[in-house]
C-alpha cells in the first residue's frame, strides 16, 4: 500500500471517529447526508486537496478545477436541488504561478454550471487545495439517505450509450483507474474523459429519478462503504441481488444510489433508459443489519 492510499484509508478512519465524537457533543445539525436542508436551500461542503484527492500532474488546471466543481455539485443534485451559490476557500502554494489564469478558470467553470461565487477565503500553504460550500435551491421534496423500507430495491445508475460515455463513464471502473494512476501516472496526465477524471452529471435525469425514490445518495466512497451506513441509518439489512464485483468497491463514482419501492422498478428503469442510462438493481432491503467484510477498497 502506497503513502497516498495509506493516508486516504487513515483519514477515513479518523473522519468516522471525529464525526461520531462531534455528534455526541450535541452541537450538530443534519450531519450524515450529502448536504443539509436550511429553509429553501440545501447546503453542502466538500474539500478537494492536492495529494489527497488529486495530483497536479494528472491534468491541466482546468481539469482539476472542473472535477472539484462536479463532485460538489453532485451532492446538491443528489438531494434534489439546483446549485445557485458557491463559497470558495483556496490554498495556493508559495511557488504557484498563474494566479490570474486560475481565477479565470474558476470563473469560467462557475459560469458553465450557472453558479455565483459569493465569497470565501484565500491563503498560502504548501499545496493546492480547494474547499467549496455550495448552496442549492430546493426543487420540492428533498431526497435523503433515510426512508428505506423493507422490500425496497437498491440500484445505481450507469450510462448505456456512447452519447453518455458508455466506454469511459461506465460505473465500476474507478478502483482500477485510481490504482493505475498511482502506479503508472506519477509524472504524467491521466485520460481526461474517464469518470475518474471527469464524472459527467445529468441533473435533468436525476430530478426525474429523485421523484420516484424513497431515499438516495451520491456515491463517493464506493457502494460497499455506503451500505453499512445506510443499514445503520434505516435499521435494515440488504440482500445482494447481483454478484459482487468492481461495481461494489469502486470509489469516486459521483453517481446515484437509489432505494425505490419494488413496484416502481420498471418505471425507474424506463426513465433512466429515456436518458440513455441503465438503472441497475443490486440489492433488496431486508430485516437485520448489513455488514461488509472487506475493510476498505484499497485492500
Cα 52-53-58 angle, rounded to 5 deg: 110
Q: Which residue has the cell 448536504?
A: 35
C-alpha pair distances (Å), 92 with each of 57, 103, 127: 16, 12, 6
Would you give the distance in Å from CA 97 to the centre of its chain? 30
Q: Give me the helices (H) in 79-159, please.
A: 99-112
- In 3D space, the residue among 265, 238, 229, 254 whose CA is nearest the CA of residue 78 turns out to be 254
pLDDT, position 11: 56
The string of DSSP letters for 180-230 reads HHHHH-SSSPPPTTSTTT-----HHHHHHHHTT-SEEEEESS-HHHHHHHH
3-state class of 152 per DSSP? coil
pLDDT, position 299: 39
3-state class of 53 per DSSP? coil
Burial 53-62 (b: 16+ CB within 10 A, else e): bbbeebbeeb
pLDDT, position 27: 75
3-state class of 155 per DSSP? strand
pLDDT, position 4: 47
Split the chain (299 residues) into runs of 10 and give each run's mean pLDDT. 51 70 75 87 94 89 95 96 97 93 97 97 94 97 96 96 86 85 77 88 97 96 92 96 94 94 98 96 96 54
161, three cell numbers: 450509450
End-to-end C-alpha distance for the chain, whole angstroms: 8
pLDDT, position 14: 74
Q: Which residue has the cell 464525526?
A: 19
Amino acid at each position: 500500500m502506497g503513502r497516498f492510499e495509506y493516508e486516504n484509508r487513515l483519514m477515513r478512519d479518523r473522519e468516522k471517529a471525529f464525526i461520531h465524537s462531534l455528534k455526541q457533543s450535541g452541537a450538530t445539525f443534519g450531519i450524515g447526508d450529502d448536504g443539509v436542508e436550511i429553509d429553501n436551500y440545501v447546503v453542502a461542503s466538500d474539500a478537494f486537496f492536492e495529494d489527497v484527492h488529486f495530483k497536479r500532474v494528472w491534468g491541466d488546471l482546468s481539469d482539476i478545477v472542473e472535477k472539484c466543481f462536479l463532485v460538489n455539485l453532485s451532492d446538491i443534485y443528489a438531494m434534489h436541488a439546483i446549485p445557485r451559490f458557491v463559497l470558495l476557500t483556496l490554498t495556493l502554494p508559495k511557488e504557484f504561478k498563474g494566479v490570474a489564469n486560475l481565477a479565470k478558470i474558476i470563473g469560467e467553470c462557475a459560469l458553465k454550471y450557472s453558479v455565483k461565487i459569493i465569497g470565501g477565503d484565500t491563503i498560502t500553504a504548501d499545496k493546492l487545495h480547494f474547499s467549496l460550500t455550495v448552496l442549492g435551491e430546493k426543487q420540492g421534496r428533498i431526497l435523503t439517505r433515510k426512508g428505506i423500507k423493507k422490500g425496497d430495491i437498491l440500484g445505481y445508475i450507469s450510462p448505456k450509450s456512447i452519447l453518455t460515455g458508455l466506454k469511459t463513464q461506465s460505473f465500476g471502473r474507478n478502483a482500477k483507474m485510481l490504482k493505475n494512476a498511482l502506479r503508472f501516472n506519477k509524472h504524467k496526465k491521466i485520460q481526461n474523459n474517464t469518470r475518474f477524471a471527469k464524472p459527467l452529471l445529468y441533473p435533468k435525469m436525476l430530478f426525474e429519478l429523485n421523484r420516484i425514490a424513497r431515499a438516495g445518495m451520491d456515491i463517493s466512497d464506493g457502494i460497499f462503504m455506503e451500505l453499512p451506513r445506510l443499514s445503520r441509518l434505516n435499521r435494515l439489512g440488504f440482500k445482494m441481488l447481483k454478484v459482487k464485483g468492481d461495481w461494489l468497491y469502486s470509489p469516486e463514482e459521483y453517481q446515484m444510489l437509489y432505494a425505490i419501492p419494488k413496484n416502481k422498478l420498471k418505471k425507474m428503469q424506463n426513465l433512466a433508459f429515456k436518458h440513455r442510462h441503465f438503472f441497475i438493481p443490486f440489492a433488496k432491503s431486508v430485516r437485520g443489519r448489513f455488514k461488509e467484510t472487506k475493510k476498505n477498497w484499497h485492500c
